[in-house]
Structure 1
Amino acid sequence: MQKIRNIAIIAHVDHGKTTLVDKMLLAGKLFREGQDEPDQFLDSNDLERERGITILAKNVSIRYKGYKINIIDTPGHADFGGEVERVLNMADGCLLLVDAFEGPMPQTRFVLQKAIQIGLKPIVVINKVDKPNCRPSEVQEMVFDLMFSLDASEDQLDFPTIYGSAKQGWMSTDWRKPTEDILPLLDAIVEYIPEPKVLEGPAQLLITSLDYSKYVGRIAVGRVHRGTLKEGQDVMLCKRDGTKVRSKIKEVDVFEGLGRTKVDAVSSGDICAVIGIEGFEIGETIADFNMPEALPTIAIDEPTMSMLFTINNSPFFGKDGKFVTSRHIYERLMKELDKNLALHVEPTDSADSWLVYGRGVLHLSVLIETMRREGYELQVGQPQVIIHEIDEVKNEPVEQLTVNLPEECASRIIDVVTKRKGEMTLMESKNGRMFLEFNIPSRGIIGLNNLILTISAGEAVIAHRFLEYQPWKGDIERRLNGSIIAMETGTAFAYALNNLQSRGRFFISPGEEVYAGQVVGEHSKEGDLVVNVTKSKKLTNMRASGSDDKVALAPPVVFSLEDALEYIKNDEYVEITPNHMRMRKVILDENERKRQSR
């Protein structure tokens, strides 16, 4: 038998899975401690490091006591669910990582449900037991209840539990007795995770993920289900639509450590990368040439949100970016479709805008942020939820929202969520904090994050995941305050901003360049207000006493990309360039806007 263990790591955002994998790599002697050990090895992309989240699933492997352990790091956000499902197909077991204080969170549940349906054997790792107010025994009970409610089998419910602190680098079977290293976890993996079954017969490999190299193009990654794949072998690619295409393998690589190693052949049970297959999609099968049999394809969750992407046509276009034309943006979106499964792009009536569909605001904003850093300029419209007609009834996506917050702000949060058509399903109080659960339409979640954090003074922990489609819930009131719009193009002056402070909050500081039609602030009342922020003080030699006092301006409101996308109204765009992010009206000319509104 081959000594291989394939495991996926499942956890909610921020429960420490990437840190744990780092320590496992260290235990596998992949790099020497303190010398060439990078921090957060797997989150290699800049965005992942800044936000502290995993976006792309990754493969690494370590050797331990003669066993090869293939580790698959998965994203914790429900927005990247498209990544998670495919990757779980490669594993035989999973490590469920849970915070010793927070317990299982809704997005842990989302991935765990997928893992249990596939039939993976779980090992529960209760992490962060060095926290002062942790409750490992209670959390273990909560995990058991969660698995039971997800219809886990007897074998899955009989899971081993390991306690420890990935940050301090130790794991143990008893949380009261810390050890020196994380070897007890590796021993548990070797002992409890089943080895892959070796199936003899014609070769089969399900493509579950892909890699890209600028030298050889797209590389298929997956687990050999049956038989053996060799370099130079003729194979059939079984497509989604049932057709079969002849192809040839140029090279086979296995994952060794942090990189890939070229081998002559890979047999059933191991995870490998196949180079030389043309035109494949994720979820298709590479099969034996003479007896091609397709494995069942992977179903991928449908997108729930759409956004209009268009070229930047503001007065300031082309000042920052390298790629500004519609051809550039179109080619970039097409390239993204190659590896981003849950994304769809549809052309619109005009030649320079597209509808991009994704799993949520975070999913789409990560794409926009990546494009911005690559030097693209573009504009995006307000996120819209996707509506399905089922039996001639208008249905919209509904999500499960959980909020954990101090008791004193609970009533105001409940008020805010119910106004947005949320229905409370659970309310419990623990150690001075309230735990609330709601079912709320996806439309109601857009822009909710900021509001809840403001009300709870930043103390609330919010998470949501897609539940199902339900009949349309009626209109939801969005931001009532109007926008403050610049009247002329030019430089904003402190003198003008000071005179307008009573009218609302501003998003710009003195000295910034603005253009006519740009949204420069939020009006304190309903309805839009057009102001001249480029007015400077007239320099005459008449002076009134006290008129030259120092101007005291309130600091401008600074938006992150997600905040801006959730903030804008449907007649506004967010303009994104490598160095700036501005909000603007779709129609820049004030008279034209009035004509349209009539």
Structure 2
Amino acid sequence: MSNNAATSTEEQIRNVAIIAHVDHGKTTLVDQLMYQSGRYRNEQLDKMAGGQHGLVFDSNDLERERGITIFSKNCAIDYLSDAGSNCRINLIDTPGHADFGGEVERVLMMADGALLVVDAYEGPMPQTRFVLQKALAQGLRPIVVVNKIDRPDSRPDEVVTEVFDLLVDLGADDETLDFPLIFASAKQGWAANAHDERPEDMRALLEKIIASVPAPEDRSAEPTQMLVTTIDFSEFVGRVAIGRVRAGKLRDRQKVTVIDRHGESTTQQIGQLFTFDGLDRKQATEIRCGDICAVVGLDPVSIGATIADPEKPVALPPILIDLPTLHMTFRVNDGPLGGRVGKFVTSRQIGDRLERELRSDAALRVEPGETREQYRVSGRGLMHLGILIENLRREGFELCVGKPTVVERVVDGERQEPVELLVVDVPADHQSSVMALLGDRRANLIKMGQKSGATGFVHMEFSIPARSLIGLRSRMLTATQGNAIVHHTVIGFEPMRGDVPHRSSGVLIAHEPGSVTAYALDALDDRGVFFVKPGDEVYEGQIVGENCKAGDLVVNVVRGKKLTNMRASGKDDSTSTRPPRLMSLEESLEYIDDDELLEVTPAGLRVRKIMLKESDRRRVSRRAQAALSL
């Protein structure tokens, strides 16, 4: 503990980030700590979680639906330690998916320590490695929490060894390798110092935090400095800057200098100050050094800005965010059915919304497209951009997005592309299928062996180009009959590895507009799998299914049965069609090709060709063939 730690007569502060792989239980762990702090009863947590037991930190609709953490959150717990000290523990819940690494990198800067939550069966996973590497780079020493110890297939000793090996691989020092260890069941609400103990509460974890995480350094006598790591927005007060006071103090109505990431400064006045009180915010007149707070009334202010003393304005080191790895085109929905259900359909409205997103998402990049109605949007992965598109759709936006492509860079005249670490756990009898599938996609095998504690499973690690992962998950599940467990994370840039396979099948394209009929789908049943059902409205150029052969095929799915005295309409009652293939947003983004678009509306998704008319597509095809012949 720091020599400048607060005494027992003064409230002590601990700033702790919680990092883990997806679905290893860190959000449930936070909920239990909130409940056992005495601030909330179970029924209050259930009400905050929208009727779902616990998981109150997953407040966003998408987080609850997907069961993952997307946005970082802060809360504070008041705790009376066994030594009689009043302690204030600021907990920072962080995303576990590498696509939201921008959130992870920022919030780690507010912490003095970390809880590394690891599943007692799965052990450390690729995202664990990703986030842990970021934490070690910030100088944070982790407390390892082996969670879900109550699982019948748990293997705590092997998992602890795997965490040690991971830290060695990441270059951790000897002090970090001697990490504090806690065994817990967040679901059952207990934590212990040994895996064979079964206490009734989480007190062992709270005591370990107090003993192992250093108190913030006391720099209250120095000029004020606070780094803005998160931006929130309120319809009532506007922008809210959240961060940790690194030096000095902040006072209500104080004059400050705001220095942005580019070094430009403005003199402003703080409107209000808030500390975190449980899950809520409580207005304060002063924020002391080391505490995390929210500042209202500053504009302009952005992520990475420093709030400094106007008499001695000194900027803190800027936040370094990893570069995007994937980009796609956002454009106005110019389809025949565009604008019918959306509230925001113009390029200006889309551009303004993307600009607002940039203020709170440091990992996002937005650039002008080829035309005034297009934007080139870059992010950290398909899920990162998919979450943005889904939020736009739910807010009432209509737009079209193009095929995701990787962000390349040129180093010393050589083209380089992002490469990811791909981890696959699969039953042994499907090993050859996985090897064949990944071999075609330019993957290099790094490690292979039996998965510890899982009889009959093979553990494989590959380095693979990020572009090879587009569309891989569905093919992997098909090849392994749904038994593969797949995770991946970016590890850097490498020279281009050559071509990778594209979609092998063609598509079925609507020939004319109208409503889909069962008669037409029944007649085309042997042509492939359809994405539409009888009664759906389609237009010329819309992709209505997948061809069972290579090459695109134009079909008429709105053709009705012509009635005569010899052909009665009653016979249509016996017509049956196969259920359509329904694809999620991410699956649709993986599916589309270079000459196709995904039409996103509040009512649903449609896949279409960029050029709707068949004559236009043929003309472009002839030109391309002529150019190749030259």
Aligned partner letter, 1:55: I
Once the 2 structures are TM-superposed, how far is the Cα of residue 72 of structure 1 from its aligned partner?
Answer: 0.1
Give the match's secondary structure for 1:236: strand
Query: 2:458 matched to 1:434?
Result: yes
CA distance in 2, matches of 1:195, 1:561: 44
CA distance in 2, matches of 1:595, 1:573: 19
Contact 2:303 2:359 in 1 (8 A): no
How far does the alpha carbon of each residue in 1:433-484 deviate from its partner, in whole angstroms, 9 at most, with x for none? Answer: 1111111111100000111111222221111111111111111111111110
CA distance in 2, matches of 1:247, 1:67: 33
How far does the alpha carbon of each residue in 1:547-598 deviate from its partner, in whole angstroms, 9 at most, with x for none? Answer: 8682232221110000000001110000011012010000001111111111
Q: Which residue of 2 aligns with 1:29?
A: 38
Aligned to 1:510, which of 500, 525, 534?
A: 534
CA distance in 1, matches of 2:44, 2:247: 41
Structure 1 segment 91-102 matched on structure 2, within 5 A: 91-102=111-122
Describe the shift of the 1:514–1:163 C-alpha distance in structure 2 as closer, same or farther (beyond 3 A): same
Q: Which residue of 2 aligns with 1:128?
A: 148
Once the 2 structures are TM-superposed, how far is the Cα of residue 243 of structure 1 from its aligned partner?
Answer: 3.0
Contact 1:389 1:395 in 2 (8 A): yes
After the TM superposition, list the runs of 4 or more consecutive aligned residues in structure 1 that deviate by more than 3 angstroms: 34-38, 546-549
Describe the shift of the 1:548–1:512 C-alpha distance in structure 2 as closer, same or farther (beyond 3 A): closer
Query: 2:170 matched to 1:150?
Result: yes
Give the match's secondary structure for 1:516: coil
Structure 1 segment 183-582 matched on structure 2, within 5 A: 183-199=203-219, 200-430=221-451, 431-543=455-567, 550-582=574-606
CA distance in 2, matches of 1:92, 1:412: 45
CA distance in 2, matches of 1:457, 1:474: 29
Aligned partner letter, 1:511: G
Once the 2 structures are TM-superposed, how far is the Cα of residue 36 of structure 1 from its aligned partner?
Answer: 5.3
Once the 2 structures are TM-superposed, how far is the Cα of residue 244 of structure 1 from its aligned partner?
Answer: 2.7
Aligned partner letter, 2:420: E
CA distance in 2, matches of 1:319, 1:166: 47
Give the match's secondary structure for 1:525: coil
Aligned partner letter, 1:43: D
Contact 1:573 1:583 in 2 (8 A): yes
CA distance in 2, matches of 1:439, 1:37: 42
CA distance in 2, matches of 1:131, 1:456: 25
CA distance in 1, matches of 2:575, 2:428: 41
- Structure 1: which 5+ runs fail to align? none
How far does the alpha carbon of each residue in 1:519-568 deviate from its partner, in whole angstroms, 9 at most, with x for none? Answer: 00111111100011111111112259x98682232221110000000001
CA distance in 1, matches of 2:247, 2:215: 14
How far does the alpha carbon of each residue in 1:377-426 deviate from its partner, in whole angstroms, 9 at most, with x for none? Answer: 11100001111111111111111111111111111111111101111111
Aligned residues: 597
Query: 2:20 matched to 1:8?
Result: no
Query: 2:102 matched to 1:82?
Result: yes
Aligned to 1:180, which of 196, 200, 204?
A: 200
Give the match's secondary structure for 1:526: coil
Give the match's secondary structure for 1:317: coil
CA distance in 1, matches of 2:322, 2:235: 29
Describe the shift of the 1:416–1:298 C-alpha distance in structure 2 as closer, same or farther (beyond 3 A): same
Describe the shift of the 1:488–1:122 C-alpha distance in structure 2 as closer, same or farther (beyond 3 A): same
Q: Which residue of 1 aligns with 2:139?
A: 119
Describe the shift of the 1:80–1:437 C-alpha distance in structure 2 as closer, same or farther (beyond 3 A): same
CA distance in 1, matches of 2:184, 2:471: 37
Contact 2:225 2:246 in 1 (8 A): yes
- Structure 2: which 5+ runs fail to align? 1-5, 48-53, 81-85, 623-630
CA distance in 2, matches of 1:369, 1:173: 42
Give the match's secondary structure for 2:211: helix
Aligned partner letter, 1:150: L
Contact 1:487 1:516 in 2 (8 A): yes
Contact 2:519 2:572 in 1 (8 A): no
Query: 2:178 matched to 1:163?
Result: no
CA distance in 2, matches of 1:58, 1:34: 21
Contact 2:421 2:462 in 1 (8 A): yes
Contact 1:287 1:294 in 2 (8 A): yes
Contact 2:528 2:548 in 1 (8 A): yes
CA distance in 1, matches of 2:376, 2:236: 31
Q: Which residue of 2 aligns with 1:595?
A: 619
Give the match's secondary structure for 2:263: coil
Contact 1:397 1:466 in 2 (8 A): yes
Aligned to 2:92, which of 72, 87, 95?
A: 72
CA distance in 2, matches of 1:481, 1:380: 21
TM-score (structure 2 length as normaliser):
0.93
Once the 2 structures are TM-superposed, how far is the Cα of residue 32 of structure 1 from its aligned partner?
Answer: 1.5
Contact 1:31 1:37 in 2 (8 A): no
CA distance in 2, matches of 1:35, 1:275: 28
Once the 2 structures are TM-superposed, how far is the Cα of residue 35 of structure 1 from its aligned partner?
Answer: 5.0
Query: 2:66 matched to 1:51?
Result: yes
Aligned partner letter, 1:448: L
More deviation, 364-373/226-235: 226-235
Aligned partner letter, 2:131: V
CA distance in 2, matches of 1:127, 1:585: 48
How far does the alpha carbon of each residue in 1:247-296 deviate from its partner, in whole angstroms, 9 at most, with x for none? Answer: 22222211111111111111111111112222122122111111111111
CA distance in 2, matches of 1:241, 1:538: 69
Once the 2 structures are TM-superposed, how far is the Cα of residue 216 of structure 1 from its aligned partner?
Answer: 1.9
Give the match's secondary structure for 1:171: strand
Aligned partner letter, 1:49: R
